[in-house]
Every structure is written in C-alpha cells, then in structure tokens.
Structure 1
C-alpha cells in the first residue's frame, strides 16, 4: 500500500479524547486512543488487538494482525494494558472489530468498574501519552477522501502523522468505518466540529513534507 497522500487535482464523539456514557452506575467508555493488548482463543492461537470501548459487561476490540478467523460464541481471554485480564464470549463480529460479553465474578466486575472509572477520568492524559508520533501541517493540505461507497470528496488535511490525520470536511462517515485518504486506507476514529480524525491501517513511512 502506498503511503503517499496526493494533493487534490474517526453518533459523534463529544470530546476529542473520549466518550463516556453513563448507564446506571456503570460507565461505558470509548477511547480515541485504543488500549493495546493480546487475546487468545481456545485453540491457543494469539492475536494482537486494541480495545476501543469497555463497560463492566462488554468490551469492543479491533484485531491488529493475524487471520480474521473469529466466530460467534468463541471464548476469548485478553490481556489489555492498564486493565489486565478480560475474559468472555464473542457476541458480534464486523469487519476487523468484534464485541465480547464479559464473564467475571462480582468481585472482578467491581474491580473492572474501578479501572474503567479511572480510565475515564484520565483519558485525556492517556491520549496525549499515546500520541507518540509528531504531527505537522503539510504545505499541500488539499487531498481526496474516498468513502467506503467509493465516492470521492475534496478535503483539507489539518495535521498529519505517521499514524493518523485530522481532516477538515463536512462529511461524517460512521465511526470505525474505512475511508481512504489519498492512497492510504484509514479508520474513522472520531468526529469534531471541523471534520474527522482518522487512524491509518498501516503505519506510514514516506509522508510528504512539501
């Protein structure tokens, strides 16, 4: 996949850092910067993953590598940074995302709620720490954004890094949907007033500087 971004010829997120929805006494937290981890199937196969939404009862993941061979009702054990072990059964699969219904004791559930609340309160700091790649504004900021339906739209790159970009556009593709910026595929991670934030599916290596 070419990393070149040619010039033209990620329900909305309520915060650029996170969305935390209150449901009873349980926070349902969506992170702009997903937590890295690994998960294992019952056959012993392991995959890298990223956790992008979590509550006391469910967790939503993106598979970071490996074959997409998951099936509904698969039993999964995952180890996620800042959260530790999560265990449950797959209840939904969509593209490279899947949802897990968590299985744990009342004691484990209470510990998880505490961790989720901590993440919710510290999500802004966490997002800043995880944004390790320097962002800059390219001199040629106009580009073409292609949606999943194949339609092409002129847009403006507000800032760009090896891992993602902020794009000025009036479009609001669904969160987690796949778009193409120039020749590089990306996933929509957030909406904001001026446009969308995207994360490249493959780390870029030759971003244009001029």
Structure 2
C-alpha cells in the first residue's frame, strides 16, 4: 500500500498542474450537474440540470419556457455562478451564452480539465479558489430575517464553509457579516456558502466583512 501512495499523489499533482498550465477553450463537455437558474427580470428561480458546459456557454434542461435573449444567472454545482443570455431552444433544453470575462473563461477551462480527471482528484481540487482552514465564530441572516450563529471552518475568496445545525435550502440567499451569499451545498457539519460580489476584496478585507470573532 505505501509503495502505491506516491504514484497516486504524482498523478494528482500532474492533473492539477496540467489544468493550470493548459487553460485552452474547450468544446462542450458533458457534465449532467444539478443547478439553479435565476431569472432577474421576474426574480424567479428554478431547479435545472446543466447537460453540457464550456467556458463560453452551456446547455440546460429546465421546466421553464424562455425566449431568446432572456438574461439568466446560472448556479452550476461545482462550477459556481455564470451570467448569460438564452441563445437557442433545443427541444426540452435551451442553450445559454455566458457573459464572462476572459479570466472567468480561463478559470472555467481549468475547472473542466479538473472535472474530466475527477477520478484522480479530491473535491477540494475542483473548487474555484484555494480554501484556507479558518477558525472563528460569525453569524448569517436568512431571507426571513432569522439570525443563525455559526462556526467558520474554512474560507476562500469565493466562499466559506461553516458549521451549523441550520440547513437553508441550496440556492437560498443569505447575508453573512456584510457580505451577500448563496447556499451552495450541504455537508456533514453544516453548509457551504458562495459569495456574491467579492471581486475587489482582499483576503484581509474579506475577513473583516465577515466579522470573524476568534
């Protein structure tokens, strides 16, 4: 057993290094991931399935009729948040063109590389940003005004994991400290929260806005 461990680590390191070095534009990759689709014009949200994905767009299966050029916000499990426009209807599915920056497209290409090699990788390798173990106490406010105390487990520029007995639904928007966020997943000890609008924050400023108390 011990003789095989270095090989597995070497394979994992190789996959991650290749993903970061080779951020080329992909053709659509089959993913079949659960997601949430938000329509800003109507403030409605729907569960959906992301059938395939590329840095430039996606094919989505969802029980909603949308016209071409409808603005959408897509939350794709593992890959995070995308803004885009509906560009075509294909039977029960529709195509979306993302309105992403060049940096966002490069990062999505990197994530797709990792996703296609996911059998060699831990879940943490698929996240958008490196997470730092962070201990402390904070609280979040739910959409109905309920205040929930929680313990911070880890933190990155794109999200935070907290320990809590509360289980807001995936997709629910919350306020944690001074930051808006969205519940992205449930885990054994609590929930993972994806931040909304933290592009111009440093790590130190992020911690201040969350108001983590040690």
TM-score (norm 2): 0.45
The structure with the largest helix share of the pair is 2
TM-score (norm 1): 0.46
